[in-house]
Amino acid sequence: MSQLVFDPSKVMDIDYTLRTEYHAELERARASRTVLKELAYAPSLPERGYNDRTLYVNVDTLQVEEKPVTRQMKDVFLGGRGFGLWHLWNAVKPTTKWNDPENEIIICPGPVSGITQYSGTGKSLVVSLSPQTGIPIDSNVGGHFGPFLKFSGFDALELQGKAEEEVILFIDGQKGIMRFERITDCPEDSHVLAEVLTSLYAENEADRVNVSVVSSGAAARHSLIGMLNFSWFDQRRGCIRLKQAGRGGIGTVFRDKKIRALVCRGPRIKSDLNHVADQETLARTAIKYHKEIRDNDPHQCMMRRNGTAHIVEIMDAYDLLPVHNFQYGSHPDTVKIDSAYWQQRCTQRTSDGCWYGCSMACAKGADGVVLKTGPYKGHMVTVDGPEYENAAGLGSNCGVFDPDYLLELNFYCDTYGICTITWGTLCAFVMECWQRGILNKERTGGLELCWGNAEADLEMMHQLARGEGFGLIAGQGVHGMKRIFAERGWGDPRLMQDIGMEVKGLEYSQYMSKESLAQQGGYALTNKGPQHDEAWLIFMDMVNKQLPTFEDKAEALYYFPLFRTWFGLNGFCKLPWNDVVPSDNATTSEPAKVPEHVQNYVDVFNATTGLKIDKEEMIHQSAKVYNFQRVFNIRMGKGLREFDVPPYRSVGPVTREEYESRMERYDQQMRDEIGVDPEGKSLEEKMAITREFRMNRYFKLMDTVYQRRGWTPNGVPTQARLKELGLDVFPEVVEVVKNHGG
Amino acid sequence: MITVNGDRLDWTEGMTVRDVLKAKNYKFPMLVIKIDEVLVQPRDYDATTVPDGAVVNVLHLLSGG
């Protein structure tokens, strides 16, 4: 056990108020602004977390409609991701593709979202049909747009249609006005666009805190991996900051609909805007938690100093940090990008929360970054993070251990509107293809995409933003690249399948699952694709050995995905759950679940909504939405067993080098678990035996998990399970299940 | 010999909880440690010795993104 000590004398002395400003761009935007349509509406504030109103907008016809939030919607889908999935289900057909006009982007804050008492309560969920997977994607995002939308009168915003020309939607929750506008001389990349639009739509400088912008960037327009930036105005720094709805390509859908930006001007934030049912319980629970952060965070994860980057060196120490496209789990150069460095590089003189009242305040910012490449070369910018996923994905997984380049990669991913996790994993795949001769300079148009070449990595990204060259191919993601490379005869498709880290079309996030069977399931048995926000079980399984049987693993793969789904239904951030724990957590019966915090969530939910749930009902609430999403996947043609199979790289050693790097572990497994003596066997024989064993073990896990979840062996929720969850009231849902043997 | 999270580890005279963590390279800050089912508080990691034959469980709490 080690504890990084904060040493203020080591923090780089950077004036965090200095950066390049975009006054000329603002003036040009102001001069080229046209109002297409304006209408008045009646703003409202939520009662007990809900406005009971949905805002529907067709960006093609500029039709605006209000829809009620029904009792049934609240009972079954709760809010957030649940509302998003329900609206999307009603909007699309089984044949709908991501770029069809009927596909929607739905932004839903959730009933708890926007309270300012408890930490991590400013989240929104964004739902759409993903360009990468063809099934619903949900992405959890901070920034202020969601709460502002809610305090302007709406529990959800549905965006449908495809505009012929670029359009901006402005919702003014203070004045009760909605306006469609076009700005012909408008920046595209998010750090400029959000700054310009914040100034343009704020009534004066002091009003900028009430404005939030949703945008994407130039690379989203040319790729399948676009993400959305949600802004907030950082008063201390005097600039806009960005949080990302990263996964699954929602930014691509946004740009395909020719939406340049969404802007919401909310009311001045106060502590009682959600009109909660029980202010006293809420305040009591929150104060207890804030004290816990103050007392325990400095000697636990130090989230307030380091953010999620605190686990870079931890993952390295446990052989879990992805290195060179998930081949290895640690690297001697990790010390160059670990939290000791980020603690010095990130500004420590200002609080860094992404929503009011969050005392965890982990949205770290590296200020004074002067860019070395691309269209903003020479500009001084503030880079959010890097968070763990960015340091691992853009860094170690690609062999990039230069922190300056890592910040630049992080910055350009954000402003160009592409997902950092996806970019990290797809670039790692590209670099391994280079290593194995599948790619070369001729095929990449001159880019030398070898391990650690950050300049080539950046140029590939700039190409994508410009819509040219090999960058365009990279922008198709790992799934698309495997197909393109195979079609061009550039490599062995079986090898590319093994090393291409994607399931259902979505790239893996940045943890090594190779030695944890439960985590292999935690990734591949997800609804949307391999993101760690369903189940992060590596420590429980691989290190603690708390899950020795298939049944134990299946139970964890039942509980944790449902528990974590609940955050997305309500507008909670996951981090305050278990990145700090109460002092007496060790004495509880299930410390890994952090029981006191689970009870806090029950109390905050009940205090907000006036309902009376307990921790069992919390799981039941999630199970309704989780199973509905599974059925939705099946309806769209991608929810069955065959789509839950991981690439072998996430299960075991694909190459000789990988086997040799952990020879002792694999040989021991052969002796102890497979019952075969490795002595005298060739490396190829041992690799084949290991592969057969590990894949069979994974398939057995699938069977056990499906059974625990109430699904058929083909991964279909049974009719009995639907009935148990009350989903049998939806005939279309039952029909999908019936048609697939459920 | 002692057992740590199911794996065997050579025991030495006077071995403390801190020594076990070093030997296993357990660096995560949020741990719940039990020796033969008895909880050891973090403040006692340096002073608590581990007896030969002990079963040590080092529970790492979840974390991350």
Query: Which pLDDT band holds residue A5 (cuts at 50, 70, 90)?
Result: confident
Question: Looking at residue A595, what is its pLDDT?
Answer: 96
Q: Has residue B62 got a pLDDT over 90? A: no
Question: Looking at residue A256, what is its pLDDT?
Answer: 98
Distances (CA, A) of A722 to A41, A82, A475, A562, A718: 39, 16, 38, 16, 6
First to last CA, chain A: 48
A548 vs B contacts (CB less than 8 Å): 6
Distances (CA, A) of A480 to A474, A475, A502, B50: 8, 8, 10, 54
Query: Which pLDDT band holds residue B63 (cuts at 50, 70, 90)?
Result: low
Range A360-383 average pLDDT = 96
Q: Has residue A127 got a pLDDT over 60? A: yes
Question: Looking at residue A1, what is its pLDDT?
Answer: 59
| Residues contacting A503, CB < 8 A, separation 6+ | A523, A524, A526, A529, A530, A643, A644, A645, A646, A647
Residue A544 backbone dihedrals phi, psi, to 5 degrees: -75, -25
pLDDT digits (tens, 9 = 90+) for A677-719: 999 999 999 999 999 999 999 999 999 999 999 999 999 999 9
Q: Give me B61's structure tokens.
A: 């709490």
Quick check: A702 and A716 in contact, CB under 8 A? no
- Asked if ipTM goes beyond 0.90, one says yes
On whether any CB of chain B is under 8 Å from the CB of A585, the answer is yes
On whether any CB of chain B is under 8 Å from the CB of A139, the answer is no
On whether any CB of chain A is under 8 Å from the CB of B5, the answer is yes
| Pairs of CB atoms within 8 A across A/B | 87
Indicate if the alpha-carbon torsion angle A450, A451, A454, A457 is positive or negative. positive
The alpha carbon of residue B6 is apart from the nearest alpha carbon of chain A, in Å, by 7
pLDDT digits (tens, 9 = 90+) for A64-98: 999 999 999 999 999 999 999 999 999 999 999 99
Say which of B6, B26, B39 has its CB closest to residue A586: B39
Q: Give me A251's structure tokens.
A: 């930014």
pLDDT digits (tens, 9 = 90+) for A44-69: 999 999 999 999 999 999 999 999 99
Mean pLDDT of chain A: 96
B25 vs A contacts (CB less than 8 Å): 317-318
B58 vs A contacts (CB less than 8 Å): 543-544
On whether any CB of chain B is under 8 Å from the CB of A314, the answer is yes
Long-range interactions of A20-29: CB distance < 8 A, separation 24+: A20/A376, A20/A379, A20/A380, A20/A381, A21/A195, A22/A187, A22/A192, A22/A195, A22/A196, A25/A187, A25/A192, A25/A196, A26/A195, A26/A196, A26/A199, A26/A200, A28/A185, A29/A183, A29/A185, A29/A186, A29/A187, A29/A196, A29/A197, A29/A200
Range A365-393 average pLDDT = 95
Question: Looking at residue A238, what is its pLDDT?
Answer: 94
Q: How far apart are CA A105 and CA A129, in angstroms?
A: 8
Say which of B26, B42, B65 has its CB closest to residue A532: B65
Q: How far apart are CA A365 and CA A362, in angstroms?
A: 9
On whether any CB of chain B is under 8 Å from the CB of A1, the answer is yes
The amino acid at residue A307 is G
- Per DSSP, the residues of A591-606 read GGG-HHHHHHHHHHHH
In A610-682, alpha helices (H)? 615-635, 656-661, 663-669
**Beta bridge partner(s), residue B59:** B32
Range A599-603 average pLDDT = 98
DSSP H/E element including B55: strand B55-60
First to last CA, chain B: 37
Query: Which pLDDT band holds residue B64 (cuts at 50, 70, 90)?
Result: low
DSSP H/E element including A66: strand A63-68
- Do the chains contact at A591 and B60, CB–CB below 8 Å? no
Quick check: A660 and A330 in contact, CB under 8 A? no
On whether any CB of chain A is under 8 Å from the CB of B10, the answer is no
**Which residue spans within A69-104 are E strands per DSSP?**
none
On whether any CB of chain B is under 8 Å from the CB of A581, the answer is yes
Query: Which pLDDT band holds residue A437 (cuts at 50, 70, 90)?
Result: very high
Closest CA to A435 of A652, A647, A225, A657: A657
> How open is the CA angle A290-A296-A297, to the nearest 5 degrees?
85
On whether any CB of chain A is under 8 Å from the CB of B14, the answer is no
Quick check: A254 and A129 in contact, CB under 8 A? no
Range A473-483 average pLDDT = 98
Quick check: A111 and A124 in contact, CB under 8 A? no
Q: Please state whether the peptide bond connecting residue A386 to the residue before it is cis, i.e. omega within 30 degrees of 0.
A: yes
- Do the chains contact at A578 and B62, CB–CB below 8 Å? yes
Q: For residue A637, how many other CB atoms are within 10 A of its CB?
A: 12
Q: Give me B20's structure tokens.
A: 């076990």
**Which residue spans within A495-534 are E strands per DSSP?**
502-503, 506-507
On whether any CB of chain A is under 8 Å from the CB of B61, the answer is yes
pLDDT digits (tens, 9 = 90+) for B23-35: 999 999 999 999 9
A299 vs B contacts (CB less than 8 Å): 29
Give the residue from A419, A511, A544, A567 with the most B CB atoms within 10 Å of its CB, the best one to mutate.
Answer: A544
